Structure 1
Amino acid sequence: MTSTQQMGAREAESHAGKLPESGRFGPLVAGLASLDRPERGFPVRGLEALRQSGLWSAGLTATDGGPDLDGPALLRLMRLVGRASLPLGRLFEGHVNALALISAYGAPAQRARVAAEAGAGRLFGVWNTEGPDGVRLIQGGLRLEGAKTFASGGRHVTRPLLPVDGEGGRQLVLLRADAPESRVREVSGSWQPMGMEGTESVKLDFSGSRLAPDDLIGGAGDYYRQPMFSAGALRFCAVQLGGADRLLTEVRGYLRRLGRHGDEVQALRFAGCWTGLHGAWLALAEGERLERGVLYSGGDEGRLLAQVDAVRLMTEDACLALLEASERAVGARGLLEPEPFGRLIRDLRMYLRQPAPDAARLRLGHWLLGRPPESDWEADDREAEHVREG
């Protein structure tokens, strides 16, 4: 059994006898609904609603202390949070990503410590993006030198998971950012975005921060191990589709208030938007199904990674079409405060700028054209069998 299958088997075991999902998200829906509209600054109240919902440790397996969510439920949770607020969804997705990586690659004592810290409400995140002054391990691998850019959550994240350069390759480091041994300095003026201001995704310098041996998570290269590295995109696509849900709902309400919801031009415009968004969600659900096949029973990893690229492209295309239609539908008046459209549109446009979309499109095309034409139906049948066996 491969290491990927072992991770999947451990997760499958942790979900054995899982509770029914009915009503699972009820407290969170109520908590987020009380926010009325997305917070203008850092989403303090939204994060607190997540802490109070019992879902704050999503990302950890049930064995490690996480809530009893399967893959489809986790993606629905991401979409729900994105619907409430895209900055909130971006921060929570990063928090969940960090917990999932630690649950997959951390030693038992590390996972227990992280579960306790998540249970106490600490905010985690994964900060990978960097420039030429990127973070590296020095002095025996227990001191940091360098900076990260797009550090979503900034100083609010007290447990950032940092992929950093070490002697053996890229190493995951869980920094106790609020400890006396840590030196975390914000680079002034590093965050002046078009949208997603509330994430406070600043540039942070970690030079001089000291580590303990148990702050090193997993081995060199684990962060880039497939399929976990690429399949994580399914979560941020779910958040983006949640943001699109919110924008479409607000546009519908606006047109109804103006008595324009029966207009034939609007009906034609948004019919196409809905089919695109719905198709992206169905493709995302298929990606999750394929991921289960790979994790639990050795499915086709190449097919899964191609599906993830397809989901990214479909999500981006559908959201861009919705943005264009929404701007045309509400007009200049709708883009003025206090209407929510200006902020919703800016946030979604900014969030869609995930790294290397053209590379994802190119990979997908090469994968498709490089397959023997007669293999498609047989491959789909094999993937279905993998999921049933899992």
Structure 2
Amino acid sequence: MTPNPDVQTSPHADLTAQKEPLSNEPPLKAPLSNEPLFKTLSLGFAALDAGLRRDGSPEDQFPVPGLDLLRGSGFWGAGGDTALTGPQLLRLMRLVGRASLPLGRLFEGHVNALALISAYGTAGQRARTAQEVREGRLFGVWNTEGPDGVQLLGASSDVRSDTSSDPGGLTLQGAKTFASGGLQVTRPLLPVDRQGERQLVLLRADAPESVAREVPGSWQPLGMAATGSVKLDFSGSRVEQDDLIGRPGDYYRQPMFSAGALRFCAVQQGGAERLLDEARAYLHRLGRGHDEVQALRFAGCWTGLQGAALLLAEGERLERACLAGKVSEARLLAQVDAVRLATEDACLALLEASERAVGARGLLEPEPFSRLIRDLRMYLRQPAPDAARLRLGHWVMNDWLLGEWSLDEGSLDESGSEDD
């Protein structure tokens, strides 16, 4: 298994253009057929879960074994230049979410960072990232902040230059909240304020130039405790010009910014499927697997999750079509909002049904329900759900066309599909 260097003791052209090879090192790409990798990873998660249940590991423990399993899975470079198709990437996120929602949150952030570097980074930055992925580094994206958000202070120069001779003199000032993984993430990608715009900075958090400090008591959550999503103060950390990824404003470019929600929805759906499976197994152990009230209750839950999964798959197809210029950005973003809404509604219905089904006895340790329910409830609190619902409603009222439920058969060339 790849050593873990991170664990401390305790549509625009960039998205579709062909990029030059990352380096002369062995490629990060998974084999053309990823099915054996999926099977091996699934079995690994099952064995890991059995071991954690047997050992009674605390629920707030950082998921080092799960991350190590992913490091050795062939999927650690997912989100960057890998051989995973879009549907396979969502399948991977769903699989990780079933194993552990905190693990899924951390891995989704890792994948998000690699995708952003792949889209906006220079050839040299992508090559460096590829090497650090091979070394097993954990990446992440930390965007959320309060009034004391992070600013980039210092000289201004062309941030797209591979060979800038300007020493920069750049420093960070301020803090990020909900920094998932905390200082275990040694390659966080920080959207920071630079003269009124958001600039991506790839921080080498384990280097002497970084003086990130955890704010005590900043992470006492309802659920997802194992992510260690603390508040970190980066004031005084020095960065180089080559640590600036892309141009100011790239982070919020559409459709990439909003379409990334498809990945965290896949993780959430995986966690919900796990909760449904656990509830069903628990009821069977109690001899209530054929109870008609439970059957009625979970029929609706399964239908909601199935609908959300189908919307998610359609969202991935629309994203691919949008990047190919075959579907409008507005249509894709409406679909992304629909996926978010359907996922949240289906998960909330399942949470209510599961609590009612297992009762007080099921919510006691060592049964997994209290942890699964808290984690899913916390993870569902993604930013601005009401804004997503409102955007979708306005689109339906003003822009939706009759018959535009999904792609017409001829609107996406299946002969060139990534699914081939």
Structure 2 CA distance for partners of 1:17 and 1:77, relative to 1, 3 Å: closer
- For residue 214 of structure 2, what is the aligned residue in structure 1? 186
Q: 1-side partners of 2:198 and 2:155: how far apart?
A: 15
- For residue 183 of structure 2, what is the aligned residue in structure 1? 155
User: Which aligned pairs between 1:329-340 and structure 2 lie closer than 5 A?
Assistant: 329-340=357-368
- For residue 44 of structure 1, what is the aligned residue in structure 2? 64
Residue 232, structure 1, aligned to residue 284, structure 2: no
Q: 2-side partners of 1:5 and 1:279: how far apart?
A: 33
Structure 2 CA distance for partners of 1:197 and 1:289, relative to 1, 3 Å: same
- For residue 101 of structure 2, what is the aligned residue in structure 1? 86
- For residue 125 of structure 2, what is the aligned residue in structure 1? 110
Residue 35, structure 1, aligned to residue 55, structure 2: no
- For residue 37 of structure 2, what is the aligned residue in structure 1? 24
Q: 1-side partners of 2:220 and 2:382: how far apart?
A: 17
Q: 2-side partners of 1:22 and 1:32: how far apart?
A: 15
- For residue 55 of structure 1, what is the aligned residue in structure 2? 75
Q: 2:371 aligns with which of 328, 332, 343?
A: 343
Secondary structure of the equivalent of 1:188?
coil
Q: 1-side partners of 2:387 and 2:400: how far apart?
A: 22
| TM-score normalised by length of structure 2 | 0.87
Structure 2 CA distance for partners of 1:278 and 1:9, relative to 1, 3 Å: farther
Residue 4, structure 1, aligned to residue 18, structure 2: no
Would you say the 8 A contact 2:139–2:188 is kept in 1?
A: yes
User: Which aligned pairs between 1:110-149 and structure 2 lie closer than 5 A?
Assistant: 110-140=125-155, 142-149=170-177
Would you say the 8 A contact 1:297–1:386 is kept in 2?
A: no
Structure 2 CA distance for partners of 1:222 and 1:150, relative to 1, 3 Å: same
Structure 2 CA distance for partners of 1:375 and 1:246, relative to 1, 3 Å: closer
Secondary structure of the equivalent of 2:36?
coil
Q: 1-side partners of 2:410 and 2:314: how far apart?
A: 11
| TM-score normalised by length of structure 1 | 0.93
- Structure 2 counterpart of 1:31, which letter? G
- Structure 1 counterpart of 2:179, which letter? A
Secondary structure of the equivalent of 1:163?
strand
Residue 268, structure 1, aligned to residue 296, structure 2: yes
Would you say the 8 A contact 1:171–1:219 is kept in 2?
A: yes
Would you say the 8 A contact 1:299–1:386 is kept in 2?
A: no
1:10 deviation in Å? 3.1
More helix per residue: 1 or 2?
1
Residue 305, structure 1, aligned to residue 337, structure 2: no
Q: 2-side partners of 1:349 and 1:45: how far apart?
A: 24
What is the CA RMSD across the aligned residues, in angstroms?
2.2
Would you say the 8 A contact 2:37–2:73 is kept in 1?
A: no
Would you say the 8 A contact 1:95–1:124 is kept in 2?
A: yes
Structure 2 CA distance for partners of 1:226 and 1:253, relative to 1, 3 Å: same
- For residue 363 of structure 1, what is the aligned residue in structure 2? 391
Deviations 1:165-202 (A, max 9, x none): 00261100000000001110000000000000000000
Q: 1:318 aligns with which of 335, 346, 354?
A: 346
- For residue 167 of structure 2, what is the aligned residue in structure 1? none
Secondary structure of the equivalent of 1:336?
coil
